[in-house]
């Protein structure tokens, strides 16, 4: 459960010396921002999006890619009525954007301006497609961001979360859901061991 990141975030909260304000949550806590961004990037709630073309269109690529026949292509024709699957999870894990450690959970990547220079030129919200992009971007993403930050800051201040050793997998049922290997019949689970943290930041 990444105890090192829990400690860094808890220290950031305790250093405020008070309950985080709205301004603190939205722009005054770098580690809270970084952990939230990396959580949304690494494990988007919806791993792919589906859109249907309303008219014929040409989708141009940022650069040439190799088709299944081995030929280089730079665009593809999309017919009206065709469904398009947008692989959010795969895009959020592109090594050409995020580097060779794209599959790792590393919040510190969001604290490195040099690494984010390429990301910020790409697409979506902060370079990820978790909330889609363009005029059809998730209308409630600001509420999701505030809710995530408020909940995480509240819990991490009072509790420490520990890995129970359960082997976890994810499956897609409208949204990404976690389950314990061998206990699929019990439905969605996320077993945790939780301990209290006192106001000084020690267990």
Binding residues for heme: 138
Sign of CA dihedral 9, 15, 16, 18: positive
In the annotated binding site, the residues are: 138
Q: What is the 3-state secondary structure (H, E, C) of the chain?
A: CCHHHHHHHHHHHHHHCCCCCHHHHHHCCHHHHHHHHHHHHHCCCCCCEEEECCCCEEEEEEEEEECCCCCEEEEEEECCCCEEEECHHHHHCCHHHHCCCCCCCCHHHHHCHHHHHHHCCCCCECCECCCCCHHHCCCCHHHHHHHHHHHHHHHHHHEEEECCCCCEEEEEECEEEEEECCCHHHCCCCCCEEEECCCCCCC
């Amino acid at each position: 459960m990444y105890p090192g990141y829990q400690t860094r975030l808890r220290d950031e909260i305790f250093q405020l010396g008070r309950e985080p304000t709205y301004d603190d949550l939205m722009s005054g806590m770098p580690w809270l921002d970084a952990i939230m961004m990396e959580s949304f990037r690494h494990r988007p709630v919806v791993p792919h999006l589906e859109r249907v073309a309303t008219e014929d269109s040409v989708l141009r690529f940022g650069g040439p890619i190799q088709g299944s026949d081995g030929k280089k292509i730079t665009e593809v024709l999309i017919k009206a009525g065709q469904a398009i699957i947008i692989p959010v999870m795969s895009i959020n894990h592109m090594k050409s954007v995020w580097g060779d450690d794209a599959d790792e959970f590393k919040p510190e990547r969001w604290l490195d301006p040099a690494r984010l220079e390429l990301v910020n030129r790409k697409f979506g919200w902060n370079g990820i497609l978790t909330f889609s992009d363009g005029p059809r971007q998730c209308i409630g993403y600001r509420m999701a961001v505030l809710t995530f930050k408020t909940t995480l800051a509240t819990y991490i201040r009072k509790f420490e979360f520990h890995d129970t050793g359960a082997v976890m997998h994810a499956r897609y049922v409208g949204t990404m859901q976690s389950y314990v290997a061998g206990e699929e019949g019990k439905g969605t689970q996320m077993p945790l061991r939780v301990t209290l943290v006192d106001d000084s930041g020690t267990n």
